[in-house]
Structure 1
């Protein structure tokens, strides 16, 4: 099976999963890397998967120790977040406000935690307020991003 515009590699991955001989490429080098990583990591032989998992665990533990030692990403009580919400801000040309954009404002579906945009009129931007125990209506609104 050949896929010359493989993108993130879902078609080559599925073809490999069902046993096809698979070849894939893409003009975008990032897409090619995603396809390669899908094949190399997700389709690895069990002994290779164990080696990869062990290496990933070691790297995670080393980074975790260094972050903890430096105290970065911790609050005043020493707690560290386990979820991060990333967004970009864009300037709305009609209002002059900086508006944060995200695919979703849901932080935890299970725990019903969302981020809510609160206008800061003095600075023409929005603050992000964290809401726990969000209502069904709030969860629905937050899902839209």
Structure 2
């Protein structure tokens, strides 16, 4: 095999692995994983969608068994999610929030100045209980791509320096 053929083979394998990575977890082939990780208990947390089609859906569960998804109709997702972001030197915090049946869900990814990174989903029930399901292992974060397409969360302290319409 000549040098050019080897280069093409490597590029082809890289593209194939990228396509597999996009389809891995709870996001389907052809969808973008805007947020994806696995918890220490083997559950997947994902925010999947297609921007030109304005599809967006939160999913939670096992790789081949979605236990919870919101909204049911992914075509309504752009209207259901709120965006928050804060950034300063060595600190970057993203949050995407939605409410389902009185329960608030917040996808979060905090990259802190102390080098610590915390990510996952925070679930706050109407009776005041709050639980963080944290990511353990590799994380996909493309939440910044949603800044211009999701509504700004006016009630989120991360947006204090940003005007929400």
> TM-score by structure 2 length?
0.24
TM (normalized to structure 1)? 0.27
* Structure with the largest fraction of helix: 1
